[in-house]
Amino acid sequence: MIQNDLLVQSGRLLRRLHDAGFDCRAEDDFEDIPDHVSATGKPFQSPMFSILRNDFTKGTAFWAFLMQENARVGGLAAQFYDLREEKLDHYLMRTAASQYGGGQRAIEWVAPPVGEMIGGKLVYFGELYFGEEVRGKRRVLTAFARLSMILAAMTWPQFDWMYAFIPKSQARFADYYGFTYRLPYSICWTPDEPFGRGNDHMIVAISAKDLAHVLACGDFSEF
């Protein structure tokens, strides 16, 4: 990853946030995260990012919060892990059993392209939430999400892919947030879909090579 491109684009994105009256704050003091998340108005933490259910350590995850006048009005979380030889589809089914299924199978199947294409050193984004007062501010949300993506790239420059899951009805946000790949109907859950998950969710992703390319083109901060 070309560090200069990361710095240039992050500076422009941060300036766009400041011009709109917002800021971005990254946190990895995990003991305080539940209170910070609650302050955004988000009513719960998903199992994959629950501080009570996961033993996060510094350097493996961070939370980014959208700030307005020192108040947290939105945020997201990012986690880094290395799958090594494990396929992403197998990883998703294995972790879903423990996180959502009480040790029982929670996913019927994962679309083959997920495991065939996305793997290695991964950054997973989740916990995306914005308060009602900022949900209609597309440019602010775009700047915040893309700035968080750059922050993840600077934190874990060795990553191969970044990915997240979003409902199909929100597919347009994949472009806003900077992802270059999306696959609908990527996961089929068992009949009892977990709260916050659904069969209509699509995986969205961007590879390290793609991110380097769009940063070098210079328009990652133009929207």
Please write the tens of the pLDDT for every residue from 171-181: 888 999 999 99
Q: What value does the mean pLDDT take over residues 42-69?
A: 89
Give the pLDDT band (50/70/90) at residue 74.
very high
Mean pLDDT across the chain: 94
pLDDT for position 2: 66
Residue 211 inside a domain? The answer is yes
pLDDT for position 40: 96
The DSSP code sequence of 155-213 is H-TT-SEEEEEEEGGGTHHHHHHT--EEESS-EEE-SSPPTT--TTEEEEEEEHHHHHH
Into how many domains does the chain fold?
1
**122-144 pLDDT per residue, tens:** 999 999 999 999 999 999 999 99
Residue 223 inside a domain? The answer is no
Position 64 pLDDT exceeds 60: yes
The model carries a pTM of 0.94
Q: What value does the mean pLDDT take over residues 100-126?
A: 95
Residue 154 inside a domain? The answer is yes
Residue 207 inside a domain? The answer is yes
Residue 222 inside a domain? The answer is no
Give the pLDDT band (50/70/90) at residue 46.
confident
Position 1 pLDDT exceeds 80: no
Q: What is the CATH number of the domain that holds 37?
A: 3.40.630.30
Percent of the chain with pLDDT over 90: 80
Percent of the chain with pLDDT over 70: 99
Boundaries of domain holding 135: 3-217
